[in-house]
Amino acid sequence: MPGSQARSRARDRNNILNRPEFLSLNQNPHSSKGGPEQSNTSNSGPGSGLAGEAPRWPEQDCMQLNPSFGGIAVSSLLAIDISLSKRLGVCVGVRGPAGAPGLRSMISLLALTGHFLPWITGTLICLWRSSTMAGQEVLLNLLLALVLDLMTVAGMQKLVKRRGPWDVPPTFLDYIAMDVYSFPAAHASRAIMVSKFLLTHLVLAVPLRILLYLWAFLVGVSRVLLGKHHLSDVGCGFALGFLHFSLVESVWLDSATCQTLMSIGSLCWTPLL
């Protein structure tokens, strides 16, 4: 009857599965007798003319209708991280605050105190001038911790290859320390690791202990202010520094091993003197 046909057509128009983007969901991919869309897709690719072969559906037909909650949460957190890191990058190039022209220099100097080069040079000089076995033991383990931190962070940065929030090009000192990428923050990892090492093996007054923790925290913040790292990079750098300290403490080299390494090093350097 005309009335039933009209109602049937209205139901077909209101059916959401009849929309163009859902047409692939209405068709049987294993059917050999399909419409023109199926014949078009089955003709694409080598060997598609064989009878009974399943059609190859394009990737655009695979629509993710229900994204996972975890994916949405991670994307939101990354967006917040990038936004906050860009807002905090107040010392990036010409974006430095006009009212405080020396602020960028102070922040750069603070970040330099967490660089690999001053710490490795100072450790080697102190190790060369040290005359006690206890001092040589502590300094040699500190040297091991610095090398471990350098290689681990450089390897992770090479794998992740995450750029900074402002994509600031690396400087000459960054290339020396292999600190080219953003994740994780090498300065933050080194500062926390050195702070924990010194606090564990040196007897310091309470104000100095507080200042040492404050210095490590400010070194990580300075890298965000300079636009080198995201907030998440610095946080992961702090966690990695704690991990490096725990690892060095677990494989601590005793005095006899350190003296053996010192003697081997002196034999290697004697012909060059």
Q: Is residue 207 part of a domain?
A: yes
Percent of the chain surpassing pLDDT 70: 69
Number of other residues whose CB lies within 10 A of the CB of residue 238: 20
If we measure between CA atoms, which residue out of 95, 83, 115, 241 comes closest to residue 168? 95
Task: Report the domain count for the chain.
Answer: 1
d(CA 107, CA 99): 15
Instruction: Select the more confidently predicted residue: 89 or 8.
Output: 89
Say what the pLDDT of residue 35 is: 45
Residues tagged active-site: 187, 229
Q: Is residue 156 part of a domain?
A: yes
* Residue 232 structure tokens: 């998440």
Q: Is residue 42 part of a domain?
A: no
Which residues span the domain enclosing 223? 101-256
pLDDT surpasses 50 at 260: yes
Whether residue 23 contacts residue 37, with contact meaning beta carbons closer than 8 Å, is answered with yes
The model's pLDDT over 91-118, given as tens digits with 9 standing for 90+, comes to 886 555 554 567 888 999 999 999 999 9
Q: Is residue 116 part of a domain?
A: yes
Q: Is residue 60 part of a domain?
A: no
Residue with tokens 């003296």: 259
The model's pLDDT over 175-221, given as tens digits with 9 standing for 90+, comes to 998 899 999 999 999 999 999 999 999 988 999 999 999 999 999 99
Q: Is residue 208 part of a domain?
A: yes
Q: Is residue 61 part of a domain?
A: no
Residues in the chain: 273
Q: Is residue 41 part of a domain?
A: no
pTM over 0.85? The answer is no
List alpha helices for the chain, DSSP H: 2-14, 23-26, 36-42, 69-88, 103-112, 116-129, 133-160, 172-176, 186-201, 206-225, 231-250, 255-269
Say what the pLDDT of residue 105 is: 87
The Cα angle at residue 123 between residues 245 and 172, in degrees rounded to 5:
90
If we measure between CA atoms, which residue out of 186, 119, 124, 117 comes closest to residue 151? 186
Cβ-proximal residues to 259 (8 Å cutoff; 6+ apart), any chain: 133, 136
* Residue 257 structure tokens: 């091993």
Say what the pLDDT of residue 262 is: 83
